A and B are shown apart, each in its own frame.
Chain A
Amino acid sequence: MTSKHQLELSQVGIDFPTAKGPFTALKDVNLRIHKGEFISLIGHSGCGKSTVLNIVAGLHQATTGGVILDSQEVTEPGPERAVVFQNHSLLPWLSAYKNVELAVKQSSKKRNKKEIREWVEHNLELVHMSHAVDKLPSEISGGMKQRVGIARALAMEPKVLLMDEPFGALDALTRAHLQDSVMEIHAELGNTVIMITHDVDEAVLLSDRIVMMTNGPAATIGEILSIDLERPRNRIELADNPKYNHYRHEVLKFLYEKQRKVESVSSHRLAQRNNKVGQHNAA
């Protein structure tokens, strides 16, 4: 940990133009992240989690405030802030190997042919995909695609790894496997990670801090919960751990008690939709 804060979001806000005038999606988002920290963003659908991530990625421009990474302002997308997209976003016409190779070739021009090949293979091995390097995305399962997507992001050697609901589209078992893989990789590489999630267990299991967001419009950070659980973490042991269950309780309370009140103030429709999400998650 060379610098205290590697990534800093200060007073970040964003307005989207609509027919009825500007719509304020985010307001006054302040967050400081240490190097190597694992941060989860959690909140109800439509609260602007993805927008925060996209601003850090440089895909959206903040209307107010800004993002500073290693004392440089973020103005455009770049490989030092690699993104793992929700639906893998692999180029369907390239094999797993070629998808990662494209990222390697783009993010560092210094490597020679042999070094490129070794680095691609190393990253695919990291996500346990060495057996399917020549397969096209259409020929592998959803979990495997997401693994390749993570390998592609890691291969860019990002300062910050951004993950937008990386396991949202996967079944529970595959998701657990991938969560374990991500914990392993994080322990090994020590990247700074920002992950968006809907899943309370996932947030508590993986994160150093959980950033809980209030509902939009003008969404912002509601509470930040530090997860003081020793690593490496084991999901089976934690299931019985009172501290773990306390953290889960805290997050659930924020999502379904504190934020529910705000919903009823905001538009009726949004409240209805969020109730549905709540019921679904509770079940």
Chain B
Amino acid sequence: MSKTVTLPLNLLSMSRINVASLGTWLGQLALPVIGIVGFLALWSVVASNIDTSLGKFPGPGAVWEQAVNLVDEHVAQQQKASDFYQRQEERNAARLAQDPSYEVKIRDFTGPPTFFAQIWTSLYTVAVGFLFASLIAVPLGILCGLSKAAYSAINPLIQLLKPVSPLAWLPLVTMVVSAVYVSSDPMFSKSFITSAVTVSLCCLWPTLINTAVGVSSIDKDLLNVSKVLRLSPMSHVFKIVMPSSIPMIFTGLRLSLGIGWMVLIAAEMLAQNPGLGKFVWDEFQNGSSESLARIMVAVLTIGIIGFALDRLMLILQKKVSWDKTAVLR
């Protein structure tokens, strides 16, 4: 009797668990896959119906082909570079054997940058520009949040400069960098400095504003605790202000990094500075039948990197944040 009662109950609970796990499995994996597959299908249908002066608009297949091509080109270029250095070394060793007083000169490989070299350049530039901007924006934001006077003094400037597209600054930045950054043996190239400064100029504002708002909205009771404990200004900032405003600071940082990455690509296209933007522009000027597919590879790469950068900031935020239960997205 008892068996006949428990058996259906067990079955029922088992089927419930299965439905639940099926639901999470669907949500986590299947639904995004369905979305992507649907997009790919739509893309290939639409692409096959668009004729451009450079041939048909590339569908997913053509783009994949070019992605493989770009990898192959990179591998071939690396092979070429290592061959070059090996030949150079052999030649130098031979000359040194003939003439011990010979001063060895090492010349760099001067082949054109591959797609992956351009990715690296862009990533490096955005990182430097973003870090530089954050180092200015976070302390300045904290100052604006703490002091009404500082806020009143700086706020009009923020409001005036924030809506300016950093690309409008680009000509000025270019001229100033060429005039000011003069060195016979420069550590960084001028184009790198120009791009990084342009990125910095747009990364400043979201971090600055969000930090200021975060700091000025700290719980009043916590401020009173700080007063009763007579915390010094420094420990007030590090023990009360910073931990309180970490969520807002990171909101600002993530917005800044996203904007910085977008602006960098545009700046590279406009100024012909090395990076992914230049790759896109070069392919456009090149105008071969593969160009559009190669640009499409770059477009998708830019998207994937932008997404990865945001996830990276999220991981960093989770590490730094004290509230491990907060749902971050």
Q: Interface of A with B (CB < 8 Å)?
A: 57-59, 76-79, 81-83, 85, 87, 89, 91-93, 102-103, 106-107, 136, 138, 156
Contacts and interface: CB of A to CB of B under 8 A. Distances in A.
Nearest 6 pairs between A and B by C-beta?
A93-B322, A89-B221, A77-B227, A106-B229, A93-B243, A77-B228
Contact of A91 (B222, B224, B230, B325): B222
25 contacts: A58-B227, A59-B224, A59-B227, A59-B228, A76-B227, A79-B228, A79-B229, A79-B230, A82-B228, A83-B224, A83-B228, A89-B219, A89-B222, A89-B225, A91-B222, A91-B225, A91-B239, A91-B243, A92-B322, A93-B323, A102-B229, A103-B229, A106-B229, A106-B231, A156-B229
Is the contact region of chain B dominated by helix, strand, or loop, or is it mixed? Answer: helix
B240 interface: yes
A156 B227 CA distance: 13
Nearest to B219: A89
Contacts of A82: 228
Contact of A78 (B224, B225, B230, B239): B230
Interface in B202-256: 219, 221-222, 224-225, 227-231, 239-240, 243
Interface string B6-28: 00000000000000000000000
B228 A57 contact: yes
B224 A89 contact: yes
Contacts of B243: 91, 93
A158 to B, nearest CB: 9
A231 B222 CA distance: 35
A184 to B, nearest CB: 24
Contacts of B222: 89, 91
Nearest to A78: B230
Interface string B292-329: 00000000000000000000000000000011010000
A81 B219 CA distance: 21
Question: Taking chain A's interface residues, is the majority helix, strand, or loop, or is none over half, making it mixed?
Answer: loop
Contacts of A92: 322-323
Nearest to A98: B239
A144 to B, nearest CB: 17
A78 B325 CA distance: 34
Nearest to A90: B225
A106 B230 contact: yes
A144 B227 CA distance: 23
A144 B222 CA distance: 18
A113 B16 CA distance: 56
A76 B227 CA distance: 8
Q: Which of A82, A83, A106 has the most CB of B within 10 A?
A: A106
Given A59-B227, A78-B228, A102 B221 contact: no
Contacts of B230: 77-79, 106
A130 B267 CA distance: 59
A179 to B, nearest CB: 22
Given A76-B227, A79-B230, 13 more contacts: A78-B228, A79-B229, A83-B228, A85-B221, A89-B225, A91-B222, A92-B322, A93-B243, A93-B322, A106-B229, A106-B230, A107-B229, A138-B325
A53 to B, nearest CB: 11
A83 B228 CA distance: 7
Contact of A87 (B221, B231, B239): B221
**Best-surrounded residue of A57, A58, A77, A138 (most CB of chain B within 10 A):** A77
B217 to A, nearest CB: 15
Nearest to A139: B325
Interface core residue of A83, A92, A93, A103 (most chain B CB under 10 Å)? A93
A85 B224 contact: yes
Given A78-B230, A79-B230, A138-B323, A102 B239 contact: yes
Contacts of B225: 85, 89, 91
A19 B231 CA distance: 33
Contacts of B221: 85, 87, 89
Contacts of B229: 79, 102-103, 106-107, 156
A189 to B, nearest CB: 18
Which of B224, B225, B228, B229 has the most A CB atoms < 10 Å from its CB?
B228
Contacts of B240: 91
A107 B230 CA distance: 8
Contacts of A77: 224, 227-228, 230
B322 to A, nearest CB: 3
